[in-house]
Amino acid sequence: MTEKAVEETFEALFALTDLRQLFRDTKPLYRLNDEQRERVRAILERVRQSLRIIEEELIG
């Protein structure tokens, strides 16, 4: 049970790392194109999903 939560913790951290890279690619104006906006959506969804699983696993 906890193994899943640990795995999702890494998933979320890695997804946020991809977001970090997006900041690096678009600085200093952060004008995102359609593809980049789509990527942000996917990253945020991935993080939300991981957080949901972690919550279920650890808190119930």
Partner 1 sequence: MRRIAEDIEIRAREELFINIHPIQPGGRLTPEAMKALISYGDGYSTCDWCQKPFRLDKIRRPPIDEFHAELAEFLGMDEARVVPGARRGFQAVVSSIAGPGDFVIVSALAHYTEFLAVEDAGAIVKEVPLNEKNIVTGENVARKVEEIKRETGKLPKLIMIDHFDYMLGNEHDVRGIAKVAKEYGIPFLYNGAYAIGVMPINGREIGADFLVGSGHKSFASPAPSGILATTKEWADKVFRTTQMVGDVTKRRFGIKEVEMLGCTLMGANLIAMMASFPTVRERVKYWPEELEKVNYFAKEFLRIRGNAILSEMPRKHTLTKVDTSKSFDIIAREHKRRGFFLGDELRERRIIGEFLGATRAWKLNTYGLTWDQVRYLAQAFQDIARKYGISVD
Q: Does 3 bind partner 1 (CB under 8 A)?
A: no
- For residue 22, the tally of other CB atoms under 10 A from its CB is 17
Between CA 37 and CA 42 the distance in angstroms is: 9
Q: Rounded distance, CA 38 to CA 42, Å?
A: 6
**Tokens, residue 50:** 């991981």
Query: How far apart are CB 60 and partner 1 at their closest, in Å?
Result: 27
Q: Does 13 interact with partner 1 (rule: CB under 8 A)? A: yes
Q: Is residue 20 within the footprint of partner 1 (CB under 8 A)? A: yes
Query: Which residues make up the interface to partner 1 (CB under 8 A)?
Result: 10, 13-14, 17-18, 20-21, 23-25, 27-29, 31
